[in-house]
Structure 1
Amino acid sequence: MDTNRSRPLEDLVRWNGELSELIRDARHSEPTSTVTFRRGHAVSAVEKVTAGLATSGQLADWGQALHFEDQVDVEEAHRDLLTQFLVEISTPELFEPVTREVCQRWLHVLQTSMASDIEGAGR
């Protein structure tokens, strides 16, 4: 089995590289397995925007590409949160524009969720 066949999709989920190339490569590949989208991926993507390394439009494009990719599975334990994140950032025309403030809010929500997991594990 060629384990590299899922690589373009993994790179897209992790946003490792030029977004337009990642989306193109993921669409033209046929992954042999699913890739799981996790909160850490969402945090990293939002941090790109808040740090000025990506635009809100790119974040929306990334979210849309992930949301409609059949081979991307959303982390089961946080499916509702991550699905809401993907839907809201990928369809700003239905919710609200993806601004720095929206990114800051999502960053807080996602990091709080992750911190509560760590806190719960320590008990």
Structure 2
Amino acid sequence: MISNRSDRFSQKSCVIGVACIFLSTFSTASDTQKSLTQKADAAREESRELEQEQLQKARDAAGETQAREKKIYKKTQPNDWEAEQRVKAQEQFNERESREDKYLREAREAVLKERKIPKPF
């Protein structure tokens, strides 16, 4: 009898072959799915880090702006320095006046006292 080569492949072996191809395709799809999930997770993490970085930059910029505003505000308010200088000047004036009063009082007391040094003959 003449044998047919197509008989070599039985129906059972074809099913097994198709199953192997299906499983390898499924495995590849599963690996692709895992890889896509990992990429999505990495992208989410990167997005979160970027957002935190942007928020920190915004906070830093707001702090610098407040510092500049305070500095400018202090420059525009010279009245505080002037008032402080006026108070100092008034205190010095009062101190000088009290010293003068003290010297005048001592001089009056000295005039009123009798001399303790005898007059020469």
User: One fold, TM greater than 0.5?
Assistant: no
Flag the structure with higher strand content.
1
**TM-score, L = length of structure 2:** 0.21
Q: Which has the larger radius of gyration?
A: 2
Flag the structure with higher helix content.
2
Q: Which structure has the higher relative contact order (CA within 8 Å, separation 6+)?
A: 1
